[in-house]
Amino acid sequence: MESGNGKRTVEKLKIILASTSPRRRELLAQIGLDFEVRTAGTEERATASEPADVVEELSGQKAQAVLEELGDTAEAVLIIGADTVVASQGRILGKPSDEREAVSMLGSLSGRSHEVYTGVTLLYRKGWPGAGSPDREPGDGLCRRVFHEMTKVSFYPMTEEEIRSYVATGDCMDKAGAYGIQGLFARFVEKIEGDYNNVVGLPIGRLYQEAKEWLGK
């Protein structure tokens, strides 16, 4: 969608968030964007080993899977894929598989600093009046932008009892590094260096600015 000066604007586009994360939904809604949530249900697998590369790769797989499932459309669409991991002492920590792993993750982060990486992939595809035409090539009208954000987080020391008590709440199970900074766990956060929203799950300010600058060209 274009504005009155002929430039496309983020607010007027059909936006699809390729993530079921309630935190990401809240952040997009917070800045006033209308969007729908859609996931392809495929399992992402990273081939990269560096945290920044991993989150960029996985965010791209999420966005691409939704694009392929969406098929041809006459409407222009912006798909947002995102993935977050915690990196500590050379290890990449995703979501814990069970409570035992959650306890282990938090024990390794206690009293230390670590990095939170979120990768974002933006896929913009122009609308086509003749959607489904046999003359279309698969990559026609598709633009891609990928970036990542890193935030450094420091925790106060935690006792084993405190860790187990937090894990028992269940708040940790769907979060990278086994903690949610915006909830009960905030009591153990000593300081943050960088974008707080990035730790929640989406560097929303940078995402908007990147999309605005990119689509406005």
Tell me the catalytic residues.
83
Characterize the bridge pairing of strands 189-193 and 142-155: antiparallel
Which is it for strands 142-155 and 14-17: parallel, antiparallel or unpaired? Answer: unpaired
